[in-house]
Chain A
Amino acid sequence: MPWTKVYVDKSEFEKAAQLQKEGLRGLTFREALKEATSQMMEKDERVFVMGEGVDDPGGIFGSTLGLHKKFGKNRVMDLPIAENGMTGVAIGAAMAGMRPIFVHMRMDFLPMCMDQIVNHAAKWYYMTGGRTNVPLVIRSIIGKGWGSAAQHSQALQALFMHIPGLKVVMPSTPYDVKGLMVSSIEDGNPVMFIEHRWLYEQIGYVPEEIYTVPIGKGIVRRQGKDVTIVAVSNMVYEAMKAVQLLEPEGIDVEVIDPRTIKPLDEDIIIESIKKTGRLVIVDIGWKTCGVSAEIAAVASEKAFKYLRAPVKRVTLPDVPTPNSPVLEDAYYFDYKRIAGSVKEMFREK
């Protein structure tokens, strides 16, 4: 199906588009995100965008570009740099009937807002016995490379995955980023919407109309019978590239994109393990207490008897992000390391 397919590069999409005589509309990830925002703002006057720089010429890497011209600066609102206070403002507006989308250019700015996100947004519905909900979307962007270093590159999704009351969404395709943004806006809970900056140029099929992708449902990107790779965010693409290295070795890989890490679609992972008996988890964050740790625990608790080999985790090492390209190369990994880990798993057998 065109909406589940991951295109590893543009040429493949063009090929696919040619095949689909009915005419598939291709959009980049950033265009799909902007379209979702724009269409929801047209549909629902409670929806508005707030964030430092949302109306500037960069438009948050293009994802909000020009929206202020269409909707005015009250609905596409530039903010003072006061992350925690402005998160409180977003929460209050949400409680009082609005549907804010608060955008942070870097995920590294979210630790500034931990009080309002963790102590307030996440718990308010529970603390009020279900009488006041917080329909809030908090977008944040993970950076990578070019010496972004320790405070402009962090992938902190695991911090939020830990907190009851939050939902955490990490779309990887243009189709999903639109559908999940619509779902997040309509959800009625605080949703952490996490984007990897390297996804913005990805192209894929995106329908023009408003549609939803359910929060909490993963998807099988590629079916296989020998090993399951669960890959998060842009690692889905790396996993798909790793498949190409593993195929000639006779290793048939199943690739799962959870799309949402909280709530996590445990069933899709367990079902896959039942079939393949092997699990490799690929995250863009750190190893200790990370997304990969949680998924490995789920596999151990709920699918242990189907596992034929120890679970493998491909993650960042537990160190801050460095600057030097040499150190960056040692820090980050790509499809080759994923493929290497899978091969190792079969060798160890």
Chain B
Amino acid sequence: MAKNKKEIKKFSRKPASNSISAETLKKLYETILRIRRFEEKIIEVYPVQDMKTPVHLCIGEEAIAAAVCIHLRKDDYIFSTHRSHGHSIAKGSDMKRMMAEFYGRKTGCSKGKGGSMHLCDPESGILGSTAIVGGGIPIAVGAALASFMKGTDTVSVAFFGDGAMDEGTFHESMNFASLKKLPVIFLCENNFYATNSPQSARQPHDNISKRAEGYGMPGVQVDGNDVTAVYEAAKEAVDRARAGGGPTLIECRTYRWKGHVGPDCDVEKGCRPRDEHDMWLKKCPVERTKKLLLDKKVMSEKEMKKLLDKINKEIDEAVEFGRSSSFPEPKELYEDVYYEQK
């Protein structure tokens, strides 16, 4: 709690980077807004109870996905977690197929077999997502090993939370990636809670980024709700990885507004202090990015309204697509257990 207060002070009003082009800032804002509206739409439709999948919403953390994935090419890999909606959208997944997946339809990105926790879009470099905490980290390292062995310059990003820092796979992966100088970025979204357990109950020090030092790789800590800060840190890490300079650990400090799972707010359930929650709402990544763009006159209020309308329309279409698509046939239960050579 006290730590998080300090956090706000430390990162308040960082001057926006001047090196980011107006075009890039627009793209970042668009992605952040798209993720926010996508998640808000889920909250809106969830009470109907026809979206039968556990949803892990990333409201409050949107800037990270946007500012990391903007540096990635289509052939770069990302590996995400149970909280993967934002990463998938930022990497270029089709929202229609995502919504269809949530509705358990055949047209879903995983043919209705994965649900919200197992999104994939191999054509966009999303080979899959795992709901086992820490499980995707070594897999991202493995994809980076493949790039290294094939001699390509693709990079991999492992998205994970502060909870995954406690898993053995994190340490095993950091060690191996550094040993082999693999093109991978360890991207920790530190939202200070693993489900409902605060970081202070799980870790002796609040020093996630410093752990990189022990593994001989660069580690940086940034304000995850400041899109420009994440953008700069991710750019440096991606450029380094692509150039063969090895891995980086980035700790993005942020906050999850909604519950670990479901559309409710944890404050209402008594899982965290209200003043802490309210403080973080003031650091809203959507509002901050919006203000930055207005201040820099990158976009006008009118243009922003137009963008919002466009995004809302896309999301409505995605929901409509999902709801109107066919369910899989029961016999499809037995398909896709084993790969068969074509």
| A residues with CB within 8 A of B | 48, 74-75, 79-80, 82, 84-98, 115-116, 119-120, 124-135, 164-165, 167, 186-189
Contacts and interface: CB of A to CB of B under 8 A. Distances in A.
B135 A97 contact: no
B241 interface: no
A93 B144 CA distance: 7
Contacts of B337: 125-126, 164-165
Contacts of A79: 176
Centre residue among A48, A92, A187, A188 by max chain B CB count within 10 A = A92
Given A79-B176, A92-B141, A97-B146, 12 more contacts: A84-B168, A85-B138, A85-B172, A86-B172, A88-B142, A92-B145, A120-B132, A125-B337, A125-B339, A134-B339, A165-B338, A187-B341
Contacts of B118: 127-128
Contacts of A128: 110, 113-114, 118, 120, 122, 127-128
B179 interface: yes
Interface string B159-179: 000000000110111011001
B113 A95 contact: no
B146 A119 contact: no
A82 B172 contact: yes
Contacts of B137: 85, 88
Contact of A93 (B135, B142, B179, B335): B142
27 contacts: A48-B149, A80-B172, A82-B175, A84-B138, A84-B169, A84-B172, A85-B168, A85-B175, A86-B176, A88-B135, A88-B139, A89-B141, A89-B145, A91-B139, A92-B79, A92-B141, A93-B149, A95-B139, A96-B77, A98-B146, A127-B110, A129-B113, A130-B111, A130-B335, A131-B110, A165-B337, A165-B338
A132 B128 CA distance: 7
Contact of B122 (A132, A134, A165): A132
B109 A129 contact: yes
B322 interface: no
A127 B143 CA distance: 18
B130 interface: yes
Max chain B C-beta neighbours (<10 A), residue from A79, A86, A88, A97 = A88
A92 B142 contact: yes
Among B130, B142, B171, B337, the most chain A Cβ lie within 10 Å of the Cβ of: B142
Nearest to A134: B339
Contacts of A116: 135, 138, 169
Contacts of B335: 130
Contacts of B132: 115, 119-120
Nearest to B117: A127
Interface in B111-160: 111-114, 118, 120, 122, 127-128, 130, 132, 135-147, 149-150, 156
B293 to A, nearest CB: 36
B34 to A, nearest CB: 23
Interface residues of B, number: 47
Given A84-B172, A188-B339, A127 B138 contact: no
A86 B141 CA distance: 9
A74 B149 contact: yes
A130 B339 contact: yes
A48 B150 CA distance: 12
A133 B175 CA distance: 26
A82 B179 CA distance: 13
B127 to A, nearest CB: 5
By Cβ-Cβ distance, the 4 closest A-B pairs, closest first, are A92-B142, A88-B138, A85-B172, A129-B111
Contacts of A129: 108-114, 120, 336
B141 A88 contact: yes
A96 B141 contact: no
Contacts of A88: 135-139, 141-142, 169, 172-173
Contact of B140 (A86, A92, A119, A189): A92
A116 B167 CA distance: 13
B249 to A, nearest CB: 15
Nearest to B106: A129
B17 to A, nearest CB: 32
A341 B340 CA distance: 40
A27 B154 CA distance: 42
A91 B142 contact: yes
Contacts of A188: 339-341
A45 to B, nearest CB: 9
A129 B114 CA distance: 7
Nearest to B140: A92
Given A89-B138, A91-B139, A119 B145 contact: no
Contacts of B127: 95-96, 128, 132
Nearest to B170: A85
A93 B143 contact: yes
A97 to B, nearest CB: 6
Contacts of A80: 172, 175-176, 179
A171 B261 CA distance: 46
Contacts of A131: 109-110, 120, 122, 128
Central interface residue in B112, B139, B172, by most chain A CB within 10 Å: B139
Nearest to A186: B341
A131 B101 CA distance: 14
Contacts of B338: 125, 165, 167, 189
A127 B139 contact: no
A91 B122 CA distance: 15
B130 A119 contact: yes
A115 B138 CA distance: 12
B113 A92 contact: no
A127 B160 CA distance: 19
B299 to A, nearest CB: 36
Nearest to A133: B339
Contacts of A127: 110, 113-114, 118, 120, 128
Contacts of B144: 92
Among the interface residues A115, A116, A131, which one has the most CB atoms of the partner chain B within 10 A? A131
A126 B108 CA distance: 13
B169 A97 contact: no
Contacts of B120: 127-129, 131-132
B147 A96 contact: yes
Contacts of B146: 92-93, 95-98
Contacts of B136: 88
